């Protein structure tokens, strides 16, 4: 967490200011725009931290959740695989706070969106002309539905998953119930809500691992404990500086068996509390560009 912050600080005060200025959600400007939306794909390749295909380990179960909302803390364009974190074009950085002691993402000010809903619009005039081959997205929050079994009955539950490097949470609702925290939570904190026999039940915990795919880890690593998912554009993003229309970027996230647990019964059915959540990280990123 500390290293992630230091890297961003090292890019300079001007970079931080330009990042904040580029966030057209705070300061709307004239277009055309570079427009970012999310997509959730359960059929996309399931990758490990190094961007290589990975199956489900023996003794574990997994399922592809149904996503409701997602949020990101940071978005950056990188020209090539040797561009270090923070040295590309930083387009967005969410609000942070020291209310919980150390610097953390301020969840109360986070922008959460559904699939195909606009997350960010950046004026193309603010982005240097060039070719960008990689996109970095630091994800911070996920909200999705999963299937579980309890006392022999099958239920649907909703998971609120905080996967940012550190998040200050005053309160939140996984679905209906208000959960009050008022403190910082490191990557992996989650709360789960389900209705069992008409009663809403909330439990919380910490996942032991959060997968963060980075196919260029050998040339452009990310700090441990961050959630900077890296993906190659399906075709390079080319900005000429003469655009008259918006350019759209669809950030396709792999949710292929992204919710993973230790499978005590060996039946690939999530049965808490004997089954323990071990991973809820995104399993890959492919940014698709349309002009």
Cα distance from N-terminal residue to C-terminal residue, the chain: 36
Q: Which domain holds residue 195?
A: 2-290
Q: What average pLDDT score do residues 114-136 get?
A: 97
- Which pTM was predicted? 0.88
Beta-strand relationship, 228-239 and 276-279: unpaired
Is 49 a residue whose pLDDT tops 80?
yes
> How far is Cα 92 from Cα 75, in angstroms, rounded to an integer?
5
Give Cβ neighbours of residue 171 (< 8 Å, ≥ 6 apart).
Answer: 178, 179, 180, 181, 182
The tens digit of pLDDT for each residue in 271-282 reads 998 999 999 999
Q: What average pLDDT score do residues 90-119 get?
A: 97
User: In the chain, how many domains are there?
Assistant: 1
> Residue 289: which pLDDT band, with cuts at 50, 70 and 90?
very high
Is 116 a residue whose pLDDT tops 90?
yes
Is 242 a residue whose pLDDT tops 60?
yes
Task: State residue 29's pLDDT score.
Answer: 60
Return the structure tokens found at 204: 């919380």
Return the structure tokens found at 203: 């439990």
The tens digit of pLDDT for each residue in 18-48 reads 333 344 344 446 889 999 999 999 999 999 9
Q: What average pLDDT score do residues 201-210 get?
A: 88
> How far is Cα 130 from Cα 93, in angstroms, rounded to an integer?
22
Q: What average pLDDT score do residues 165-190 get?
A: 96
Task: State residue 287's pLDDT score.
Answer: 98
> How far is Cα 211 from Cα 213, in angstroms, rounded to an integer?
6
> Residue 225: which pLDDT band, with cuts at 50, 70 and 90?
confident
Q: How far is the CA of 87 from the CAs of 42, 65, 136, 178, in angstroms? A: 32, 34, 11, 39
Is 199 a residue whose pLDDT tops 90?
no
């Amino acid at each position: 967490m500390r290293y992630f912050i230091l890297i961003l600080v090292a890019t300079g005060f001007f970079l931080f200011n330009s990042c904040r200025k580029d966030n057209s959600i705070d300061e709307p400007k004239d277009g055309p725009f570079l427009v970012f939306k999310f997509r959730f794909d359960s059929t996309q390749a399931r990758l490990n931290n190094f961007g290589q295909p990975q199956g489900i380990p023996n003794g574990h179960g997994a399922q592809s959740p149904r996503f409701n909302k997602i949020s990101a803390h940071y978005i950056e364009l990188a020209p090539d695989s040797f561009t270090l974190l923070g040295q590309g074009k930083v387009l967005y950085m969410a609000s942070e706070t020291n209310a919980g002691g150390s610097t953390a993402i301020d969840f109360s000010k986070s922008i959460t969106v559904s699939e195909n809903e606009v997350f960010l619009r950046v004026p193309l005039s603010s982005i240097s002309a060039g070719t960008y081959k990689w996109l970095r997205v630091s994800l911070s929050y996920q909200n999705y539905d999963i299937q579980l079994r309890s006392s022999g009955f099958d239920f649907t539950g909703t998971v609120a998953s905080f996967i940012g490097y550190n998040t200050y949470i005053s309160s939140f609702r996984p679905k209906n119930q208000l959960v009050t925290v008022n403190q910082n939570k490191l990557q992996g904190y989650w709360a789960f809500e389900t209705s069992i026999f008409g009663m809403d039940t909330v439990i919380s915990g910490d996942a032991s691992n959060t997968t963060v795919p980075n196919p260029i880890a050998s040339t452009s690593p990310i700090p441990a404990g961050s959630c900077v998912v890296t993906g190659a554009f399906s075709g390079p993003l080319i900005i000429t500086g003469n655009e008259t229309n918006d350019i759209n970027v669809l950030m396709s996230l792999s949710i292929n068996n992204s919710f993973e647990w230790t499978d005590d019964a060996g039946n690939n059915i999530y049965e808490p509390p004997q089954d323990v959540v071990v991973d809820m990280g995104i399993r890959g990123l492919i940014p698709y560009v349309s002009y």
